Amino acid sequence: MDVFNKISELLAEIESSSPSDAQSLETFRIRFLGTKNVIKPLFAEMRNVSSDKKKEFGQALNHLKTSAEERYNLLKKEVQLKSTQDEVSNMDLTLPVDSGFTGSRHPVSIVMNRMINIFEKIGFVVEEEREIEDDWHNFSAMNTPDDHPARDMQDTFYLKDSEKFLLRTHTSSVQARVMTNQKPPIRIIAPGRVYRNETISARSHCQFHQVEGLYIDKDVSFADMKQTLLYFAREMYGPDTKIRLRPSYFPFTEPSAEMDVWMGTDTETTKRLTKGTGWLEVLGCGMVDPNVLTNCGIDPEVYTGYAFGIGIERTAMQKYNISDIRLLFENDVRFLQQFSAVI
């Protein structure tokens, strides 16, 4: 057969072939581009072509070769596209998904949210405030004298080169923020993180969390406070919970008390957290000192109020049997995963 005819025949074959799957594409590749392809032997025919046709023949052969390559690249793309389309349409969209581990709430958040919820039910409103505070809101307004040991560089993290700005040492600073901005009646809770320059150990950390409470109105009494705190304790620790109030001292309250909740000494954790007494100290509280009201522009002749500050970590540790406070701040996934079932 005339070699020119052979070339046209192969060219027509290349242009008309359209393999629809990977296997027939491979057959195409082997036939036209493989090591023993059908084009190769035609090059050897060159010597049999008369010299006036050699140039034309060479060009036709090269055209054949590049056509084969181009066609192959095009077909390859089409086959790939078709196979992903097939994959998608063959997918079973009703199959259940393995969602893996999607994260969980931190035990401190779980307890904090529970506390917020308990107080919201009786009309307390959440106030969130800054962690970087000034000396006035954290100490002066709260009736903490200049020479009070809590102001010491040892306990308070001051900002670099500043005597005025610090990381709040308690959420009581929010009391001053709210009282200077709102008029009584005031009924707020302020959850948040606080900082103290303390040596880190199994029992204490330089950061922890509190929920502050403040209630100011006419004729608020100590009995009101005690009833509210008893309600809180029973919601938080169970309906039969026993509490005790011990007289204490805080610069911003008068009289002041600390509230303990009866936990018993059944487990190693309660033994350790209660220092063997069975009583877990959960909060400080008291009647807002008249000086604090005056400092914040509220007339102590007209208004009275109570305040409290609940520590969150100790309750979280008791609830989940955590013996070392440091575990709460290390963010070890093996620890955190254990709370994935809790909301």
Q: Tell me the C-alpha distance between 291 and 163, whole Å.
A: 23
Output DSSP code: residue 288.
E
Choose between 72 and 308: whose C-beta lies nearer to ligand DAH: 308
Q: Quick one: how many helices (H) and strands (E) in the chain?
A: 12, 9
Give least dist CB 296 to ligand DAH, A: 13
Structure tokens, 302: 């007209």
Choose between 33 and 150: whose C-beta lies nearer to ligand DAH: 150
Choose between 107 and 286: whose C-beta lies nearer to ligand DAH: 286
Choose between 4 and 249: whose C-beta lies nearer to ligand DAH: 249
- In the complex, the residues that contact ligand DAH under the rule CB under 6 A are 170, 172, 212, 250, 253, 256, 284-286, 307-309
Choose between 172 and 318: whose C-beta lies nearer to ligand DAH: 172
Cβ 246 vs Cβ 220: under 8 Å = no
Task: Give Cβ neighbours of residue 215 (< 8 Å, ≥ 6 apart).
Answer: 124, 185, 186, 187, 224, 225, 228, 305, 306, 307
Choose between 72 and 208: whose C-beta lies nearer to ligand DAH: 208
Helices 222-237 and 107-120: angle between axes, nearest 10 degrees: 130
Give least dist CB 93 to ligand DAH, A: 55
Phi-psi group of 72: left, alpha or beta (phi > 0 → left; psi -120 to 50 → alpha; rest → beta): alpha
94 C-beta neighbours (distance < 10 Å), count: 5
Choose between 32 and 258: whose C-beta lies nearer to ligand DAH: 258
Handedness of CA 251, 254, 255, 256 (dihedral sign): negative
DSSP character string of 126-174: E----SEEEHIIIIITTT--TT-GGGSTTT--BPTT-SSEEE-SSTTHH
Give least dist CB 319 to ligand DAH, A: 20
> What helix, strand, coil percent values describe the chain, rounded to 5?
45, 20, 35
Cβ 337 vs Cβ 101: under 8 Å = yes
Give least dist CB 278 to ligand DAH, A: 22
Give least dist CB 165 to ligand DAH, A: 19
Choose between 61 and 167: whose C-beta lies nearer to ligand DAH: 167
Give least dist CB 152 to ligand DAH, A: 15
Task: Give Cβ neighbours of residue 269 (< 8 Å, ≥ 6 apart).
Answer: 317, 318, 321, 322, 323
Is the bond leading into 185 cis (omega within 30 degrees of zero)?
A: yes
One-letter identity of residue 180? T
Give least dist CB 172 to ligand DAH, A: 4
Give least dist CB 273 to ligand DAH, A: 17
Choose between 256 and 274: whose C-beta lies nearer to ligand DAH: 256
DSSP character string of 300-336: TTT-EEEEEEEESHHHHHHHTT---GGGGTS--HHHH
| Pairing mode, strands 125-126 and 253-262 | unpaired
Give least dist CB 287 to ligand DAH, A: 8
